[in-house]
Amino acid sequence: MKIALIGCGSIGRVIARNITGGSVKADLRYVYDMDAKKAAEFARKFRTEYRDFDEILKQELDLVLEAASQEAVRTLIPKALKAGKNVMIMSTGALADEHLLQEIRGLAEKNNLKVYLPSGAIAGLDGIKSARDEIERVTIKTTKPPESLEGAPFFEKHPMDLKEIKKPTVIYEGTAEEAVKLFPSNVNVAASLSLAGIGPKKTRVQIVADPDAKSNVHEITAEGRFGVLKIKAENVPSPDNPKTSYLAALSAVATLKKISEPIQVGT
Ligand SMILES: NC(=O)c1ccc[n+]([C@@H]2O[C@H](COP(=O)([O-])OP(=O)(O)OC[C@H]3O[C@@H](n4cnc5c(N)ncnc54)[C@H](O)[C@@H]3O)[C@@H](O)[C@H]2O)c1
């Protein structure tokens, strides 16, 4: 499997380490990052090649893997699909935008391509997919250390000193559609959950800042005629990016393994 990676950050590094270490049977041919210096260093370290994105798309590739930002999904993923490449998307928050989702779906269908969305920092999407047509309510409560919420657009209209938070505090409650715009680096999980389940308008999100939190905790509750699903993930943050759970990077690695494996386990 010949891969190009967009984003030489914390998720990108875990993916590259697993490919060069041999646990994923793939060839990391090219990397791209808007930070050229970072990309060049990354390419040297993992013995791959840094090139301009348009140049990369001219090459023969099996997969373009985004681990960069929602902006990268909006601007680069449609280009990759138009160039006939399968894609994997980590910044799934971008897909809460119905227009972009339809554009990506249409391009993939037209060109007979796949769009892979790993489970990211949550678990249980197998059960959510199975129960989808029977689900009446889904909520996700995300609890994080306050500093990992810093810089979110939400605080432009609701300024607050996160360092002053002394006990678990509900910062936000609303729909997944709104949450991914107000907390774009924090709640990709809400978008992934919506896509597996009942959509971003109906999926409810609660964000809690907890000064004693040592991990990023995601608690999902889904209810309906099928029964009740309760899923809790207590995630260790990535060592070099506290906003990203380590499990998210591992889910990208697991999806790469799944693509290259003949036997597919799980729904
Ligand atoms: N699906 C999930 O559950 C989940 C979980 C964690 C993180 N994420 C998302 O995955 C993405 C990567 O996370 P990370 O921790 O590796 O981030 P990071 O900040 O460590 O690295 C991102 C890299 O992408 C580059 N980049 C950003 N925008 C770009 C663009 N438009 N074009 C080219 N390069 C660009 C940056 O320069 C940086 O080097 C983020 O959007 C994050 O929100 C998703």
Q: Has residue 187 got a pLDDT over 90?
A: no
Binding site membership of 152 for ligand 1 (Cβ less than 6 Å): no
Binding site membership of 251 for ligand 1 (Cβ less than 6 Å): no
Inside any domain, residue 143: yes
> What separation in Å is there between the alpha carbon of 52 and the centre of ligand 1?
18
Q: Is 121 annotated as a binding residue?
A: yes
- The pLDDT of residue 130 is 97
CA 119 to CA 254: how far, in whole Å?
10
Inside any domain, residue 256: yes
The pTM score is 0.95
- The pLDDT of residue 241 is 82
Inside any domain, residue 149: yes
Output the residue whose Cα is nearest ligand 1's atom 19. Answer: 9
Q: How far is CA 182 from the centre of its chain?
A: 16
Q: Has residue 149 got a pLDDT over 80?
A: yes
Residues 97-121, mean pLDDT to the nearest whole number: 97
- Residue 144 pairs in a beta bridge with 209
Domain residue limits at 18: 2-117+248-260
Q: What CATH number is attached to the domain comprising 164?
A: 3.30.360.10
- The pLDDT of residue 242 is 77
CA 24 to CA 43: how far, in whole Å?
18
Model confidence at 158, pLDDT cuts 50, 70, 90, reads very high
Q: Backbone phi, then psi, for 175, in 5-degree steps?
A: -90, 160
Pair (6, 113) in one structural domain: yes
Pair (28, 52) in one structural domain: yes
CA 32 to CA 36: how far, in whole Å?
8
- The pLDDT of residue 58 is 98
Instruction: Name the residues annotated as catalytic.
Output: 218
> What separation in Å is there between the alpha carbon of 131 and the centre of ligand 1?
30
- Residue 105 pairs in a beta bridge with none
Share of the chain above pLDDT 90, in %: 90
Q: How far is CA 33 from the centre of its chain?
A: 17
- Residue 174 pairs in a beta bridge with 205
Output the residue whose Cα is nearest ligand 1's atom 34. Answer: 33
Q: How far is CA 1 from the centre of its chain?
A: 21
Count of structural domains within the chain: 2
Pocket test of ligand 1: the residue of 17, 54, 74, 90 to mutate, having most ligand atoms within 8 Å of its CB, is 90
The per-residue pLDDT of the chain, averaged, comes to 95
Inside any domain, residue 78: yes
Q: What is the pLDDT of residues 51-96, one digit of tens each?
A: 999 999 999 999 999 999 999 999 999 999 999 999 999 999 999 9
Q: Has residue 157 got a pLDDT over 80?
A: yes
Inside any domain, residue 227: yes
Between 98-110 and 70-82, two packed helices, what is the crossing angle to 10 degrees?
A: 20
Q: What is the pLDDT of residues 30-41, one digit of tens each?
A: 999 999 999 999
Pair (132, 82) in one structural domain: no
- The pLDDT of residue 239 is 77
Q: Using only the alpha carbons of the chain, give its radius of gyration.
A: 18
Q: Backbone phi, then psi, for 63, in 5-degree steps?
A: -155, 135
β 227-235/216-224 pair status: antiparallel
- The pLDDT of residue 56 is 98
